[in-house]
Amino acid sequence: MILGGLAKITAIYLILFTVCTVAVSGQTADDFIISGDSLYELYDYGGSIEMYRSACLLDSGSFEAYWKLGRSLNLKGETAERDSQLAIFEEARDVQKHALSIDEDHADAHFQLARALGKIALFKGVFKSTSLAKQVKDECRRALEIDSLHDGAWHILGRWHREVGKKPKILRIPMGLGGANKEDALAFMRKALEINPENINHRLEMGNTYRRFKMLDLARSEYQRCLELVAAGPLDEKYQAEAKKSLDEMEEN
């Protein structure tokens, strides 16, 4: 109990120190957002997180600071060590919820929330956290109500149908997840690709979806196309490495 109390006190002092440091620097929330944007464009997601956090400390009502912080957290979580990923995605979830409490009519904030929730559900087990699975779908639907051409939301919906559909329908119906199906998994991933055909992650997950449903020639084609695209940053390189691994596995079998 003593150690727990000391940890809380230390955390409070760290927050106060950060607030004072930010205030003394004379920079505004907008200044920090601009700096965060510059680091984000350089794929320095960790650096951008620190800038957006500083902006949030200065202006708790800044929608832009919060949704961009959540976006960077999601991207950092993708490449972080596994034992630290859950905490990063949980922070991304909390940040996006705050952003949406400021402005609920922003498609990308709903998408980023769905993204964080989806990752958390995968950690906890989709069928052990059915409420999370439902929230992922709801957030994607809300994003698409605002922007019907949001390829990221179509992507996540496609993956939702693919992953949730792995369990027999008779077992999913009592959970309220009976709607997951092969047709929508394929259609929604294809929609994401139709909107943004140069997106490496769309190609990877289209390949994974074809492979899941034993459409192996189509899967190989998507993985190959994924490898032919020009990578932009470390995440694209990660996705291409996964595509190469999948191709190698298919060749071995």
Q: Are residues 128 and 77 in the same domain?
A: no
Cα–chain center distance at 134? 16
Q: Return the pLDDT at 168.
A: 83
Q: Is residue 77 part of a domain?
A: yes
Model confidence pLDDT, tens digit, residues 80-117? 999 999 999 999 999 999 999 999 999 999 999 999 99
The whole-number average pLDDT for the span 158-173 is 88
- Which residue would you say has higher pLDDT here, 117 or 13? 117
User: What would the DSSP string read from start to end of the chain?
Assistant: -HHHHHHHHHHHHHHHHHHHHHHHHT--HHHHHHHHHHHHHTT-HHHHHHHHHHHHHH-TT-HHHHHHHHHHHHHHHHHS-HHHHHHHHHHHHHHHHHHHHH-S--HHHHHHHHHHHHHHHHHH-GGG-HHHHHHHHHHHHHHHHH-TT-HHHHHHHHHHHHHHTTS-HHHHGGGT-TT--HHHHHHHHHHHHHH-TT-HHHHHHHHHHHHHTT-HHHHHHHHHHHHHSPP-SHHHHHHHHHHHHHHHHHHH-
Residues in Cβ contact with 119 at an 8 Å cutoff, skipping those fewer than 6 apart: 74, 77, 85, 89
Average pLDDT (164-189) is: 89
Taking the C-alpha atoms of residue 16 and residue 178, their distance in angstroms, rounded to an integer, is 48
Q: Does residue 6 fall inside a structural domain?
A: no
The two tokens of residue 128 are 């052990």
Q: How many Å apart are CA 64 and CA 72, to the nearest integer? A: 12
Q: Tell me whether residue 7 is in a domain.
A: no
Does residue 1 form part of some domain?
no
- Residue 65 CB partners (closer than 8 Å, separation 6+): 29, 32, 33, 36, 52, 55, 56, 59
Indicate whether 68 and 124 sit together in one domain.
no
pLDDT tens digits, one per residue of 108-155: 999 999 999 999 988 887 667 788 889 999 999 999 999 999 999 999
Other residues' Cβ atoms within 10 Å of the Cβ of residue 34: 13
User: Are 113 and 182 contained in the same domain?
Assistant: yes
CATH of the domain at 57: 1.25.40
Among 81, 116, 131, residue at a domain's last position: 81
CA distance linking residue 40 with residue 10, whole number of Å: 29
Residues 132 and 163 in one domain: yes
Are 109 and 190 in a shared domain? yes
Q: Which of 81, 115, 149 is the last residue of a domain?
A: 81
| Residues 67, 118 within the same domain | no
Position 108 in a domain: yes
- 192 and 108 in a common domain: yes
- Note whether 110 and 191 are same-domain residues: yes
One-letter amino acid at 168 equals: P
Range(s) of the domain holding residue 56: 23-81
Q: Is the pLDDT of residue 64 over 90?
A: yes
pTM equals 0.87
Mean pLDDT score, 47-72:
97
One domain, residues 141 and 70: no
Residue 8: per-residue pLDDT: 41
* Residue 12 confidence (pLDDT): 36
Residue 231 resides in a domain: yes
Q: How many domains does the chain have?
A: 3
Q: Tell me: do 115 and 167 sit in the same domain.
A: yes
Q: For residue 148, is it within any domain?
A: yes
Q: Is 8 a domain residue?
A: no
Q: Determine contact, residues 222/210, Cβ cutoff 8 Å.
A: yes
Please check whether residue 93 is in contact with residue 127, taking contact to mean a CB–CB distance below 8 angstroms: no
Tens-digit pLDDT profile for residues 181-233? 999 999 999 999 999 999 999 999 999 999 999 999 999 999 999 999 999 99
* One domain, residues 169 and 209: no
Last residue of a domain, one of 81, 113, 129: 81
Going by pLDDT thresholds of 50, 70 and 90, the confidence category of residue 2 is very low
Residue 123 sits in the same domain as residue 165: yes
pLDDT at 144: 98
